[in-house]
Structure 1
Protein backbone atom coordinates (compact mmCIF):
# COMPACT_ATOMS: atom_id res chain seq x y z
CA UNK A 1 0.00 0.00 0.00
CA UNK A 2 1.21 3.47 -0.68
CA UNK A 3 0.39 6.74 0.99
CA UNK A 4 -0.69 8.15 -2.36
CA UNK A 5 -3.39 5.50 -2.71
CA UNK A 6 -4.53 6.05 0.86
CA UNK A 7 -4.84 9.80 0.28
CA UNK A 8 -6.50 9.32 -3.08
CA UNK A 9 -8.98 6.91 -1.51
CA UNK A 10 -9.86 9.33 1.26
CA UNK A 11 -10.34 12.35 -1.00
CA UNK A 12 -12.41 10.20 -3.36
CA UNK A 13 -14.71 9.30 -0.46
CA UNK A 14 -14.91 12.82 0.91
CA UNK A 15 -13.06 15.97 -0.16
CA UNK A 16 -10.56 16.84 2.55
CA UNK A 17 -8.05 19.48 3.53
CA UNK A 18 -4.46 18.65 4.31
CA UNK A 19 -5.35 19.16 7.98
CA UNK A 20 -8.20 16.63 7.69
CA UNK A 21 -5.76 14.14 6.19
CA UNK A 22 -3.20 14.76 8.92
CA UNK A 23 -5.80 13.70 11.48
CA UNK A 24 -6.39 10.51 9.46
CA UNK A 25 -2.68 9.72 9.37
CA UNK A 26 -1.70 10.88 12.86
CA UNK A 27 0.87 8.38 14.08
CA UNK A 28 -0.76 8.36 17.52
CA UNK A 29 -4.17 7.60 16.08
CA UNK A 30 -3.65 5.77 12.79
CA UNK A 31 -2.79 2.14 13.23
CA UNK A 32 -3.22 1.38 9.55
CA UNK A 33 -0.97 3.90 7.88
CA UNK A 34 0.65 6.69 9.91
CA UNK A 35 2.33 9.43 7.89
CA UNK A 36 4.28 12.60 8.70
CA UNK A 37 2.91 16.02 7.81
CA UNK A 38 5.47 16.77 5.10
CA UNK A 39 4.63 13.50 3.31
CA UNK A 40 0.88 14.16 3.30
CA UNK A 41 1.30 17.61 1.74
CA UNK A 42 3.93 16.35 -0.73
CA UNK A 43 1.60 13.60 -1.94
CA UNK A 44 -1.32 16.03 -2.25
CA UNK A 45 0.82 18.32 -4.45
CA UNK A 46 1.90 15.36 -6.60
CA UNK A 47 -1.68 14.12 -7.03
CA UNK A 48 -2.74 17.62 -8.09
CA UNK A 49 0.20 17.96 -10.53
CA UNK A 50 -0.68 14.57 -12.05
CA UNK A 51 -4.32 15.58 -12.51
CA UNK A 52 -5.57 12.98 -10.02
CA UNK A 53 -6.71 15.56 -7.43
CA UNK A 54 -8.05 19.07 -7.64
CA UNK A 55 -8.81 21.88 -5.25
CA UNK A 56 -12.59 21.90 -4.80
CA UNK A 57 -12.79 24.68 -2.18
CA UNK A 58 -10.65 27.29 -0.47
CA UNK A 59 -11.13 28.18 3.14
CA UNK A 60 -9.83 30.38 5.90
CA UNK A 61 -6.08 31.02 6.16
CA UNK A 62 -5.48 29.66 2.68
CA UNK A 63 -6.69 26.14 3.40
CA UNK A 64 -7.52 24.07 0.35
CA UNK A 65 -9.98 21.21 0.15
CA UNK A 66 -8.94 18.49 -2.28
CA UNK A 67 -11.16 16.06 -4.13
CA UNK A 68 -10.41 13.29 -6.58
CA UNK A 69 -10.75 14.08 -10.27
CA UNK A 70 -12.32 11.58 -12.66
CA UNK A 71 -8.76 10.52 -13.57
CA UNK A 72 -8.04 10.11 -9.85
CA UNK A 73 -11.11 7.94 -9.38
CA UNK A 74 -10.03 5.84 -12.36
CA UNK A 75 -6.51 5.46 -10.91
CA UNK A 76 -8.02 4.43 -7.57
CA UNK A 77 -10.28 1.88 -9.28
CA UNK A 78 -7.31 0.48 -11.18
CA UNK A 79 -5.29 0.13 -7.95
CA UNK A 80 -8.23 -1.54 -6.18
CA UNK A 81 -8.59 -4.07 -9.02
CA UNK A 82 -4.85 -4.85 -9.21
CA UNK A 83 -3.53 -7.92 -7.38
CA UNK A 84 -2.62 -7.22 -3.77
CA UNK A 85 0.83 -7.73 -2.31
CA UNK A 86 0.26 -10.20 0.53
CA UNK A 87 3.86 -10.13 1.67
CA UNK A 88 3.79 -9.49 5.39
CA UNK A 89 6.56 -7.12 6.42
CA UNK A 90 5.74 -6.54 10.04
CA UNK A 91 8.71 -6.49 12.37
CA UNK A 92 6.98 -8.04 15.42
CA UNK A 93 6.12 -11.11 13.35
CA UNK A 94 9.71 -11.42 12.14
CA UNK A 95 11.04 -11.08 15.68
CA UNK A 96 8.61 -13.83 16.79
CA UNK A 97 10.35 -16.20 14.37
CA UNK A 98 13.58 -15.87 16.35
CA UNK A 99 12.41 -15.56 19.94
CA UNK A 100 13.78 -19.04 20.64
CA UNK A 101 17.23 -17.44 20.26
CA UNK A 102 16.56 -14.99 23.10
CA UNK A 103 17.06 -15.58 26.80
CA UNK A 104 13.89 -16.45 28.72
CA UNK A 105 13.94 -12.98 30.29
CA UNK A 106 14.37 -11.22 26.92
CA UNK A 107 11.66 -13.39 25.37
CA UNK A 108 9.24 -12.50 28.17
CA UNK A 109 10.04 -8.79 27.94
CA UNK A 110 9.61 -8.79 24.14
CA UNK A 111 6.22 -10.52 24.48
CA UNK A 112 5.14 -8.10 27.24
CA UNK A 113 6.09 -5.08 25.12
CA UNK A 114 4.32 -6.51 22.09
CA UNK A 115 1.22 -7.35 24.15
CA UNK A 116 1.08 -3.83 25.57
CA UNK A 117 1.31 -2.34 22.08
CA UNK A 118 -1.24 -4.69 20.54
CA UNK A 119 -3.69 -4.05 23.39
CA UNK A 120 -3.24 -0.29 22.98
CA UNK A 121 -4.12 -0.62 19.29
CA UNK A 122 -7.18 -2.73 20.13
CA UNK A 123 -8.32 -0.04 22.58
CA UNK A 124 -7.73 2.67 19.97
CA UNK A 125 -9.64 0.79 17.28
CA UNK A 126 -12.48 -0.04 19.68
CA UNK A 127 -13.18 3.58 20.58
CA UNK A 128 -16.38 5.00 19.06
CA UNK A 129 -14.29 7.80 17.53
CA UNK A 130 -12.35 5.20 15.53
CA UNK A 131 -15.50 4.31 13.63
CA UNK A 132 -16.09 6.21 10.43
CA UNK A 133 -19.81 6.55 9.66
CA UNK A 134 -19.02 8.86 6.73
CA UNK A 135 -16.84 6.21 5.15
CA UNK A 136 -18.18 2.67 5.56
CA UNK A 137 -15.28 1.25 3.55
CA UNK A 138 -12.88 2.48 6.20
CA UNK A 139 -15.01 0.70 8.78
CA UNK A 140 -14.04 -2.51 6.98
CA UNK A 141 -10.37 -1.60 7.35
CA UNK A 142 -10.86 -0.82 11.04
CA UNK A 143 -12.53 -4.19 11.56
CA UNK A 144 -9.71 -5.98 9.73
CA UNK A 145 -7.04 -4.18 11.76
CA UNK A 146 -8.93 -4.96 14.97
CA UNK A 147 -8.92 -8.67 14.06
CA UNK A 148 -5.20 -8.59 13.24
CA UNK A 149 -4.25 -6.91 16.51
CA UNK A 150 -6.55 -9.25 18.46
CA UNK A 151 -4.77 -12.26 16.95
CA UNK A 152 -1.33 -10.76 17.62
CA UNK A 153 -2.32 -9.92 21.21
CA UNK A 154 -3.51 -13.49 21.70
CA UNK A 155 -0.14 -14.79 20.52
CA UNK A 156 1.79 -12.41 22.82
CA UNK A 157 -0.49 -13.24 25.77
CA UNK A 158 0.22 -16.96 25.23
CA UNK A 159 3.99 -16.32 25.35
CA UNK A 160 3.69 -14.14 28.46
CA UNK A 161 1.51 -16.66 30.29
CA UNK A 162 3.78 -19.60 29.35
CA UNK A 163 6.97 -17.78 30.32
CA UNK A 164 5.57 -16.36 33.55
CA UNK A 165 4.53 -19.89 34.53
CA UNK A 166 8.13 -21.15 34.33
Structure 2
Protein backbone atom coordinates (compact mmCIF):
# COMPACT_ATOMS: atom_id res chain seq x y z
CA UNK A 1 0.00 0.00 0.00
CA UNK A 2 2.88 2.41 0.64
CA UNK A 3 4.03 2.32 -3.00
CA UNK A 4 1.04 4.46 -3.90
CA UNK A 5 2.04 7.07 -1.32
CA UNK A 6 5.66 6.95 -2.43
CA UNK A 7 4.53 7.68 -5.96
CA UNK A 8 2.17 10.42 -4.82
CA UNK A 9 4.96 11.99 -2.77
CA UNK A 10 7.37 11.96 -5.70
CA UNK A 11 4.69 13.43 -7.95
CA UNK A 12 4.08 16.17 -5.36
CA UNK A 13 7.61 17.33 -6.25
CA UNK A 14 6.56 17.74 -9.89
CA UNK A 15 5.37 15.83 -12.96
CA UNK A 16 7.22 12.63 -13.83
CA UNK A 17 6.93 9.56 -16.02
CA UNK A 18 6.83 6.00 -14.75
CA UNK A 19 10.44 5.65 -15.85
CA UNK A 20 11.43 8.80 -13.93
CA UNK A 21 9.63 7.52 -10.83
CA UNK A 22 11.34 4.12 -11.05
CA UNK A 23 14.71 5.87 -11.38
CA UNK A 24 13.99 7.98 -8.29
CA UNK A 25 13.06 4.91 -6.27
CA UNK A 26 16.27 3.21 -7.46
CA UNK A 27 18.37 6.29 -6.73
CA UNK A 28 17.31 6.73 -3.13
CA UNK A 29 15.40 3.74 -1.86
CA UNK A 30 16.50 0.71 -3.87
CA UNK A 31 17.79 -1.32 -0.95
CA UNK A 32 15.20 -0.07 1.54
CA UNK A 33 11.98 0.08 -0.48
CA UNK A 34 12.42 -1.48 -3.92
CA UNK A 35 9.85 -0.66 -6.58
CA UNK A 36 9.79 -2.64 -9.78
CA UNK A 37 8.70 -1.07 -13.06
CA UNK A 38 5.61 -3.29 -13.56
CA UNK A 39 4.33 -2.49 -10.07
CA UNK A 40 4.93 1.22 -10.57
CA UNK A 41 3.05 1.29 -13.86
CA UNK A 42 0.16 -0.75 -12.44
CA UNK A 43 -0.09 1.63 -9.46
CA UNK A 44 0.02 4.66 -11.77
CA UNK A 45 -2.98 3.22 -13.65
CA UNK A 46 -4.87 2.73 -10.36
CA UNK A 47 -4.01 6.23 -9.13
CA UNK A 48 -5.22 7.69 -12.44
CA UNK A 49 -8.46 5.71 -12.29
CA UNK A 50 -9.04 6.96 -8.73
CA UNK A 51 -8.44 10.58 -9.76
CA UNK A 52 -5.39 10.98 -7.50
CA UNK A 53 -3.09 11.70 -10.44
CA UNK A 54 -3.65 12.76 -14.03
CA UNK A 55 -1.71 12.80 -17.25
CA UNK A 56 0.47 15.90 -17.47
CA UNK A 57 1.89 15.27 -20.93
CA UNK A 58 2.54 12.59 -23.50
CA UNK A 59 5.77 12.53 -25.39
CA UNK A 60 7.46 10.53 -28.09
CA UNK A 61 7.36 6.72 -27.93
CA UNK A 62 4.36 6.78 -25.59
CA UNK A 63 6.19 8.42 -22.68
CA UNK A 64 3.50 9.66 -20.32
CA UNK A 65 4.22 12.11 -17.51
CA UNK A 66 1.82 12.32 -14.59
CA UNK A 67 1.04 15.00 -12.04
CA UNK A 68 -0.67 14.79 -8.68
CA UNK A 69 -4.20 16.18 -8.36
CA UNK A 70 -5.67 18.09 -5.42
CA UNK A 71 -7.37 14.87 -4.27
CA UNK A 72 -4.04 13.05 -4.55
CA UNK A 73 -2.28 15.66 -2.43
CA UNK A 74 -5.09 15.48 0.16
CA UNK A 75 -4.81 11.66 0.25
CA UNK A 76 -1.03 11.90 0.69
CA UNK A 77 -1.32 14.43 3.50
CA UNK A 78 -3.99 12.29 5.21
CA UNK A 79 -1.68 9.26 5.01
CA UNK A 80 1.22 11.26 6.47
CA UNK A 81 -0.73 12.79 9.35
CA UNK A 82 -3.61 10.47 10.15
CA UNK A 83 -2.95 6.86 9.20
CA UNK A 84 -1.10 4.46 11.47
CA UNK A 85 2.49 3.75 10.50
CA UNK A 86 3.19 0.18 9.40
CA UNK A 87 6.37 -0.55 11.34
CA UNK A 88 6.76 -4.03 9.90
CA UNK A 89 10.29 -4.65 8.73
CA UNK A 90 10.93 -7.66 6.55
CA UNK A 91 14.66 -8.21 6.83
CA UNK A 92 15.63 -11.53 5.31
CA UNK A 93 19.06 -11.41 7.01
CA UNK A 94 17.32 -11.46 10.40
CA UNK A 95 15.05 -14.31 9.37
CA UNK A 96 18.11 -16.25 8.24
CA UNK A 97 19.89 -15.51 11.51
CA UNK A 98 17.23 -17.49 13.33
CA UNK A 99 18.62 -20.57 11.57
CA UNK A 100 22.37 -19.89 11.77
CA UNK A 101 22.66 -22.94 14.00
CA UNK A 102 22.09 -25.06 10.87
CA UNK A 103 25.11 -23.63 9.05
CA UNK A 104 28.59 -25.04 9.01
CA UNK A 105 30.70 -22.73 11.23
CA UNK A 106 33.09 -21.84 8.39
CA UNK A 107 30.17 -21.08 6.05
CA UNK A 108 28.57 -18.98 8.79
CA UNK A 109 31.78 -16.98 9.29
CA UNK A 110 32.06 -16.31 5.55
CA UNK A 111 28.39 -15.36 5.40
CA UNK A 112 28.65 -12.91 8.29
CA UNK A 113 31.83 -11.37 6.87
CA UNK A 114 30.00 -10.78 3.55
CA UNK A 115 27.02 -9.31 5.40
CA UNK A 116 29.22 -6.92 7.41
CA UNK A 117 31.08 -5.87 4.25
CA UNK A 118 27.85 -5.34 2.31
CA UNK A 119 26.17 -3.26 5.01
CA UNK A 120 29.28 -1.20 5.67
CA UNK A 121 29.52 -0.52 1.93
CA UNK A 122 25.88 0.53 1.75
CA UNK A 123 26.33 2.86 4.74
CA UNK A 124 29.34 4.40 3.04
CA UNK A 125 27.46 4.87 -0.24
CA UNK A 126 24.64 6.66 1.57
CA UNK A 127 27.19 8.71 3.53
CA UNK A 128 28.69 9.87 0.23
CA UNK A 129 25.22 10.75 -1.05
CA UNK A 130 24.55 12.69 2.17
CA UNK A 131 27.84 14.58 1.77
CA UNK A 132 26.79 15.63 -1.75
CA UNK A 133 23.46 16.85 -0.40
CA UNK A 134 25.13 18.64 2.53
CA UNK A 135 27.48 20.38 0.08
CA UNK A 136 24.44 21.83 -1.67
CA UNK A 137 24.81 19.80 -4.85
CA UNK A 138 21.04 19.24 -5.01
CA UNK A 139 19.88 22.58 -3.63
CA UNK A 140 17.95 23.12 -0.41
CA UNK A 141 14.31 22.71 -1.44
CA UNK A 142 12.02 20.99 1.08
CA UNK A 143 12.02 17.67 -0.85
CA UNK A 144 15.83 17.66 -0.74
CA UNK A 145 15.82 18.39 2.99
CA UNK A 146 13.37 15.53 3.61
CA UNK A 147 15.47 13.23 1.45
CA UNK A 148 18.49 14.08 3.59
CA UNK A 149 16.58 12.82 6.65
CA UNK A 150 15.80 9.59 4.80
CA UNK A 151 19.43 9.17 3.74
CA UNK A 152 20.57 9.60 7.34
CA UNK A 153 18.18 6.85 8.40
CA UNK A 154 19.70 4.58 5.74
CA UNK A 155 23.24 5.37 6.94
CA UNK A 156 22.33 4.54 10.52
CA UNK A 157 20.37 1.41 9.58
CA UNK A 158 23.19 -0.01 7.46
CA UNK A 159 25.79 0.89 10.10
CA UNK A 160 23.69 -0.93 12.70
CA UNK A 161 23.35 -4.01 10.48
CA UNK A 162 27.10 -4.05 9.80
CA UNK A 163 27.75 -3.84 13.56
CA UNK A 164 25.22 -6.64 14.13
CA UNK A 165 26.93 -8.93 11.57
CA UNK A 166 30.33 -8.33 13.21
CA UNK A 167 28.81 -8.94 16.65
CA UNK A 168 27.12 -12.16 15.45
CA UNK A 169 30.43 -13.44 14.05
CA UNK A 170 31.87 -13.31 17.58
CA UNK A 171 28.95 -15.36 18.95
CA UNK A 172 28.49 -18.33 16.64
CA UNK A 173 25.77 -20.76 17.68
CA UNK A 174 26.66 -24.33 18.50
CA UNK A 175 26.79 -26.51 15.41
CA UNK A 176 23.66 -28.43 14.56
CA UNK A 177 23.75 -32.15 15.27
CA UNK A 178 23.57 -34.49 12.27
CA UNK A 179 20.14 -34.30 10.66
CA UNK A 180 19.77 -30.60 11.53
CA UNK A 181 17.58 -30.93 14.60
CA UNK A 182 18.49 -29.70 18.04
- 2:129 & 2:89 partners in 1: Cα distance? 28
Which residue of 1 is the match for residue 175 of structure 2? none
Is residue 103 of structure 2 the alignment partner of residue 102 of structure 1?
yes
Per the TM alignment, residue 47 of structure 1 is displaced from its structure 2 partner at its CA by 0.7
Structure 2 distance, partners of 1:70, 1:89, is 33
Q: Quote the residue 1:159 is aligned against.
A: 168
Q: Distance in 1 between matches of 2:74 and 2:48?
A: 15
Once the two structures are superposed, the pairs formed by residues 126-137 of structure 1 within 5 Å of their partners are 126-128=127-129, 131=133, 133=139, 135=143, 136-137=145-146
Is the contact made by 1:26 and 1:36 (CA closer than 8 Å) also made in structure 2?
Answer: no
Q: Which runs of 5+ in 1 are unaligned?
A: none
Measure the CA separation in 2 of the matches of 1:83 and 1:162. Answer: 37
Q: TM-score under structure 1 normalisation? A: 0.82
CA contact (8 A) 2:124 2:155 kept: no
Q: CA contact under 8 A between 1:53 and 1:72: conserved in structure 2?
A: yes
- The secondary structure found in structure 2 opposite 1:44 is helix
Q: How many residues align?
A: 163
CA root-mean-square deviation: 2.6
TM, length-normalised to structure 2 = 0.76
Matches of 1:12 and 1:29 in 2, distance apart? 17
1:40 is matched with 40
Matches within 5 A, 1:11-160: 11-26=11-26, 30-81=30-81, 82-128=83-129, 131=133, 133=139, 135=143, 136-160=145-169
Contact 1:17 1:66 in 2 (8 A): yes
Distance in 2 of aligned mates of 1:84 and 1:73: 18
- For structure 1, which segment, 40-49 or 124-133, has the greater mean C-alpha deviation from structure 2 after superposition? 124-133
Give unpaired runs (5+ residues) of structure 2.
Answer: 173-182
* Matched residue SS, 1:26: helix
Give the stretch that moved more between structures: 78-87 or 56-65. Answer: 56-65
C-alpha distance in 2, partners of 1:26/1:79?
23
Instruction: Give the deviation of 1:34 after TM superposition.
Output: 1.6
